[in-house]
Amino acid sequence: MSKPKYEEVRFGYQLPLNPWDMILDFAKYCEEVGFDAAVMADHTVAFGIKRFDSLEAWTVLAALATQTKRVMLGTVVSDVHRHHPAVLAQMVTTVDIISRGRAFLGVGVGEAMNLDPYGVPWDKRVTRTYEGVRVIKMLWTSDERITWQGRIFKLEKALLQPKPVQKPHPPLIIAANSPQTLRIVAELGDGWIPLFLTPEEYSQRLAELRGMARSNFGRDPDSIIPAYYTYCVVSKNPEEARKAIEIPAKMYLIQAPELLKKFGVEISDEYRITKIVFNEETVKKMLGEAKKVPDEALEGRFICGSPEDCIEQIDAYIKAGVRFFSIPLLVRYEQMKDTLKLFANEVIAYFRGLA
């Protein structure tokens, strides 16, 4: 395999959600070994089998800002339902100031597990997200008081001070898989982060996004950072890696029922990521449904195997356009540091021409 030098490609490690001492330890270590970002999922509860522990993401990131020096710090992804967009804008600004310009904000339309059990309204979720992103960007960039009326949100002589360190503002990366959310990215996003896509699907969707940004909104499409979120297991033993990723990946895929129809598998819409609420009962059902997912559905959607396997798979995504990877490493916590080091020393180093 020829060795490309993709110096512009960045790698983010998705931190655990609890406990704090472990989050801190792994964040400092991923910075030490060469990751570019330490990323938090912004959840009220964690994806779990028996436990669903989760600390609040932006509180954690503010603390990490005082304990790290180089890595970018942000979420994949927050929503504008649990936090009013003005409050979320202030939270991110605070982390950007504490970290001296290292914050980024990922935003998505929301997940039922974080909202429904707590009575948080999120009807008209695409409209809420679109308006929320507009409000955040207005407050980050305007030195004047803003009066603005949307369908969901309203500003009346609103002003956010101080401003973020980064100019014009911290990167705002939008999770988008549907045509409606892709349009939000095309108009307002500094980056795009989908999931479940093969490199071929990613390339097609990125071309669609760039065309929409240029023709519909007069934007430079190259100004939008192409990112990707996917599970990863890297190991010197590729068979162990494939075994480790199988069940989590299949549980992930049943949350996209339309995708599995391509493989002749019918999954109830109740398991869709925007509808499923994680608890002991639903997880048990999901484990049963995951058995329906054929192994071939996993091919090309996750990063898995030996370092050489992972390099080949990541290279395919880079050729498809990806420039930022947000990666949860699916290994036991006692193996995490060794896995972070292996990924950094053999995979990241390869793409930087160091290995």
Q: Which residues are catalytic?
A: 43, 111
Instruction: Find the angle CA(35)-CA(36)-CA(42) to the nearest 5 degrees.
Output: 100
Token representation of residue 125: 């979720």
**Residue 51: strand, helix, or coil:** coil
CA distance 227 to 201: 14
Q: Which of 71, 67, 87 is nearest to 79 (CA)?
A: 87
Q: Which of 302, 82, 278, 287 is nearest to 202 (CA)?
A: 302
CA distance 13 to 31: 9
- Taking the CA atoms of 61, 85, 105 and 124 in sequence, report the sign of the dihedral they define: positive
Asked if residues 60 and 43 have their Cβ atoms less than 8 Å apart, the reply is no
Q: H helices within 218-354, ranges in order?
A: 238-253, 257-260, 280-290, 307-320, 336-342, 349-351
Beta bridge partners of 173: 106, 191
Token representation of residue 254: 């049943």
Asked if residues 135 and 152 have their Cβ atoms less than 8 Å apart, the reply is no
Token representation of residue 269: 């819409």
